[in-house]
Amino acid sequence: MSGKTTAKKKKDSIFRRSDIATVAIILIGFVALMVVIEVIQGQFKFFTVANWMNILMQNAVVGIMAMGMTIVMISGGIDLSVGYLASLAGIFVAKAIVQWGWGVWPAIIVGVLLCIALQAALGAIISYLDVEPFIITLGGSICFRGIALLMSQSREIVMPGHELEFVKTNVFETTVEAGTKIQLPIYILIFVAIAIIVWFILKYTKYGRRVYAVGANPDAAFLAGVNVRRLKLSTYIVNGLLVGIASIVLLGRVGTAIITNGQGLEIDVIACVVIGGVAMSGGKGNGMGTFLGILLLGAITNAMNVLKLQSEWQYVVKGAIIIAAVAIGALAGKIAAKSELARQRQEAVQEQKEA
């Protein structure tokens, strides 16, 4: 019996854990390529603590939103509205503080609640009317953009004070050689904490198991006693919470609320999630894979800036990486499926012989 167990464990190859393995392999390969390039050039700008902290700072907002998108997509949904929802929330909070005379925390709380309410509305339509989330969230994105433009009158709202300066407060700061500063702002800790919480919820809680079950087979999950509609709605509510937090971080970093702040963010968010191994069809992926996907895309963008590549080539490279990651993940999945089928056939033959 132990021999069979050991054999099964040995067959749990890298292809069986392709949701993390794919992005990990690509990330390691990319890092190795950058090592070779920087050794040839004789300068090390990419492999510095300051630069990697910069990568985290540049991608914290996308990372927070990607964690919410991870839960939504594992459950079988998708959300194209997160970019303009972040813009809308930022404009609302900025107007509340600068023009309406609200306090900082009341404005933040109501701004986050606004994101939750709007996502709950979209989630209710998707889950209770059984409509395609792609179309509903696309319509939501257009609607949120219009509301944000009306609210801001198509103008930017500058925050002259230091109302959201606490978002950028450095937990740690030091100066190294050549006057380079290494900083650890609080919003990086927020991002990492959210990533850990999402990973833990998906991996170790009953709610996480139900999210996977609904994404893999909603009918089977329903027969097993899961309230599928309520669970799908809850994923959009969680997503709204994280979009609200991300919008505050974004506003605190930029200091100006404008419609373009969140424009196109949904593309980067979905790209990170998909590269991280989350299946578009649902039921597969995890928070750790998404975190690695965020690091990979952030590192690629940063490396191309360090190497001073033209922006046109940057789009080509990022697009190619996304296509390659998804293709490799699909290939790994097919290899795992064939390996599992071969194993089952071998076991069936063995049982017949023993019988």
Q: Within a 10 A sphere around the Cβ of 245, how many other Cβ atoms?
A: 25
Task: State the distance between the two ends of the chain, measured CA to CA, in whole angstroms.
Answer: 17
Interval 231-249 mean pLDDT: 97
Q: CB neighbours of 238 closer than 8 A, spacing ≥ 6?
A: 68, 71
The number of distinct structural domains making up the chain is 1
Q: For the chain, what percent of residues have pLDDT higher than 90? A: 54
3-state secondary structure of 44: coil
Q: For the chain, what percent of residues have pLDDT higher than 70? A: 93
Q: Is the pLDDT of residue 14 over 50?
A: no
- The model's confidence at residue 8, banded by pLDDT at 50, 70 and 90, is very low
**Mean of per-residue pLDDT scores for the chain:** 87
State the DSSP string of 192-248: HHHHHHHHHHHHHSHHHHHHHHHHH-HHHHHHTT--HHHHHHHHHHHHHHHHHHHHH
Q: What is the pLDDT of residue 179?
A: 64
pTM of the model: 0.87
Q: Is the pLDDT of residue 259 over 80?
A: yes
- CATH number at 175 reads 1.10.3470
Position with higher pLDDT, 292 vs 173: 292
3-state secondary structure of 176: coil
Query: CB of 81 within 8 A of CB of 141?
Result: yes
Q: What is the pLDDT of residues 260-305, one digit of tens each?
A: 999 989 999 999 998 888 888 888 888 999 999 999 889 888 888 8
Q: CB neighbours of 84 closer than 8 A, spacing ≥ 6?
A: 141, 142, 144, 145, 148, 259, 262, 263
Using only C-alpha atoms, the chain has a radius of gyration, in whole angstroms, of: 22
Position with higher pLDDT, 131 vs 335: 131
Give the closest residue to 202 by CA, choosing from 279, 292, 285, 273.
285
Q: Is the pLDDT of residue 46 over 60?
A: yes
Strands 170-175 and 181-185: antiparallel
Give the closest residue to 240 by CA, choosing from 106, 46, 22, 64.
64
Interval 231-255 mean pLDDT: 96
Interval 37-61 mean pLDDT: 85
CA distances from 89 to 250, 300, 338 (A): 10, 29, 47
Q: Is the pLDDT of residue 202 over 90?
A: yes
37-46, 78-87, 138-147, 253-262: which has the minimum mean pLDDT?
37-46
Q: Where are the beta strands (DSSP E) in the chain?
A: 157-158, 170-175, 181-185, 256-257
Q: What is the pLDDT of residue 213?
A: 96
Interval 69-97 mean pLDDT: 96
Q: Is the pLDDT of residue 11 over 50?
A: no
Q: Is the pLDDT of residue 21 over 90?
A: no
Q: Give the range of the structural domain holding residue 8, as residue numbers without chain letter.
A: 2-354
98-102, 168-172, 222-226, 232-236: which has the minimum mean pLDDT?
168-172
Q: What is the pLDDT of residue 309?
A: 80
Q: What is the pLDDT of residue 324?
A: 78
